[in-house]
Amino acid sequence: MKKLDWYILRKFLTTFFFAIFLFAVIAVVIDVSEKTDDFVRSQLGVRRIITDYYFGFIPHIIALLFPLFVFIAVIFFTSKMAGNSEIIAMLAGGVSYARWLRPYWIGGAFLAVLLWFSNQFIVPKANQIRGTFEAKYVDANSSYNALLYKPNNIYLRIDSFTYAGIYSYDTATKRGGPFFLYKVKNNQVSENLRSDYISWDTATKKWKVEGIISRKLYPLKETVLQETFRQMSYSFRPGDLGRDKYAKDKLTSPELDRFIQLEELRGSEGLNSLKVERYRRDATCITVLLLTLIGGIVAGRKVRGGSGVHLAVGFITAAMFILTDRFSTIFSTKGDLHPLIAAWIPNMIFVFVALYLYKKAPK
């Protein structure tokens, strides 16, 4: 690390942290204006709102736009250096172009590691705080959300040969129905159970199944049994039947890995969104490094328009990246695109963009 490295690195980090601080303040002001009614309705004091909500909201919003603000910060301070002919002086003094980019590599790697660690552990914990508050005080006041996330038509696999489903389930009363269960043996249904209701018995920690009609199927006959109720021990619990739209955001990466494995065992649908989230936590860190290099290369050239041209190019590049990321996510969650490919497509595309810009940059 030479004086040149410390000079550029200091400009890089101070510009970034100042920009992200200003953005966090603006985001909080806008969010307060949007949720004022919810805060008043919650009857919580200012201190409780800060600790129970904004301690979770601020890390969430910073992590969400972290790569974009790294890119903007690099564009801004590098453009200023180019406008003052500092970069021309460095290159004319014998510093190679690759050597000039070294502090960008160092700063980008530092911020990438910081974001990676935050995505794995810190941001999920913050999302637990934010999600708990919004579920209790924001979504609870929305009839749309109450209807949209009502847990109906739940299907799950209990074990390797048993499948069950509940057409409607109330998380408040822990009661639902109708309920059905199939047991499969040698690719054929061996037992079929249907009931009117299923409810959780908090005393025995078992499921109470009511209004049962069960059939056991044999090669040449079947037996039918009717029962008023039966207590059953199933592998799922009431908490497993609730549809939490914040689940993938609130789990740390090890917890998310275990949750995905459990949902795959149960045969749950819509797992691509969980997998895309898991893979993106790693891919976003490489995004930070790529955008740092692209920003440095784009803004390092002195042009007549100055910082305005560089910022315009930067915003266009960032918009292209966001669009690529959104489209790949939709193709994965709504289509057949593999989640790993969906999470890494933007990076794979912009690697070639970075290489092209590096070759074309005046050295």
Choose among 81, 71, 88: nearest CA to 313: 71
Q: Are residues 188 and 281 in the same domain?
A: no
Distance, in Å, from the CA atom of 347 to the CA atom of 325, rounded to the nearest integer, reads 9
Domains: count for the chain: 2
Distance, in Å, from the CA atom of 249 to the CA atom of 247, rounded to the nearest integer, reads 5
Q: Are residues 136 and 283 in the same domain?
A: yes
> Angle at Cα 362 formed by Cα 357 and Cα 363, nearest 5°?
110
Q: Are residues 128 and 277 in the same domain?
A: yes
Choose among 67, 17, 16: nearest CA to 287: 67
Q: Are residues 237 and 346 in the same domain?
A: no
In a domain, 264, yes or no: no
Distance, in Å, from the CA atom of 73 to the CA atom of 96, rounded to the nearest integer, reads 23
Dihedral sign for Cα 252, 254, 257, 263, please.
negative
Q: Are residues 325 and 277 in the same domain?
A: yes
Q: Are residues 113 and 23 in the same domain?
A: yes
Q: Are residues 71 and 167 in the same domain?
A: no
Map residue 115 onto helix, strand or coil.
helix
In a domain, 256, yes or no: no
Q: Are residues 119 and 235 in the same domain?
A: no
Where in 140-260 does DSSP place strands (E)?
Answer: 152-159, 162-170, 175-176, 179-185, 188-195, 197-201, 206-217, 222-232
Q: Are residues 184 and 308 in the same domain?
A: no
Q: Are residues 137 and 278 in the same domain?
A: yes
Q: Which domain holds residue 108?
A: 3-141+270-360
Q: How many CB atoms lie within 10 A of CB 355?
A: 11
Q: Are residues 161 and 275 in the same domain?
A: no
Place of tokens 């999600």: 131
Dig out the tokens for 74 from the structure. 């690099």
- Do 323 and 349 meet the contact criterion of CB atoms below 8 Å apart? no
Map residue 238 onto helix, strand or coil.
helix
Q: Are residues 211 and 158 in the same domain?
A: yes
Q: How many CB atoms lie within 10 A of CB 288?
A: 24
pLDDT tens digits for the chain (363 residues)? 789 999 999 999 999 999 999 999 999 999 999 999 989 988 889 999 999 999 999 999 999 999 999 999 999 999 999 989 999 999 999 999 999 999 999 999 999 999 999 999 999 999 989 988 987 888 766 544 444 445 567 888 888 889 899 988 887 788 898 999 999 988 889 999 999 999 999 889 999 999 999 999 988 889 999 999 999 988 888 877 766 666 788 889 998 998 888 788 777 777 898 999 999 999 999 999 999 999 999 999 887 766 778 878 878 888 888 889 889 988 988 888 999 999 999 999 999 999 999 999 887
